[in-house]
Amino acid sequence: MLELDATNHPTELLEGFDSYLEGKFPKHGQKWEGCTHLYFLVCSRCHWYVVEVDIAKSTMFIYDPDKNCFMDDQIRTDLKPMTTILPMLLKKINIVIDALAIERITTTSKQSNS
């Protein structure tokens, strides 16, 4: 399991991020208050994978059936922006996360077409 330190991040969000928390963006978004999980896609070097953030467990689950495509260092690099932004967003709704663990899930189905 990888550990990402989210304690050294800027103290203020850029203008516009509140629209995510309020459910105004994206188009069919919902308020984050009361959410237990967040989901987002990552595209790195033309390879896509899904990230599930379990807020209660302070864990990011990486769903990627191609376990040989990326090394742990590449995933850390890909997710570094999220380890900065997510704690700041969650703090605005009174959820404090100091560190996010990463668990890779490689047992998902692999896409058969390119």
Tell me if 110 is assigned to some domain. no
- Structural domain tally of the chain? 1
Q: Which two tokens stand for residue 7?
A: 């304690």
**Radius of gyration of the chain from its Cα atoms, rounded to whole angstroms:** 15
CB 61 within 8 A of CB 103: yes
Tell me if 114 is assigned to some domain. no
Tell me if 23 is assigned to some domain. yes
Mean per-residue pLDDT for 81-85?
82
The predicted model scores a pTM of 0.74
pLDDT for position 2: 44
pLDDT for position 1: 44
Residue 68 domain boundaries: 2-105
User: Cα 34 to chain center, whole Å?
Assistant: 17
pLDDT in tens, 44-79: 888 888 999 999 999 999 998 776 677 778 888 888
The CATH number given to whatever domain includes residue 58 is 3.30.310.130
In order of 22, 23, 81, 89, 96, the CA distances from 19 in angstroms are 5, 6, 18, 11, 19
Least confident of 3-12, 42-51, 52-61, 78-87: 3-12
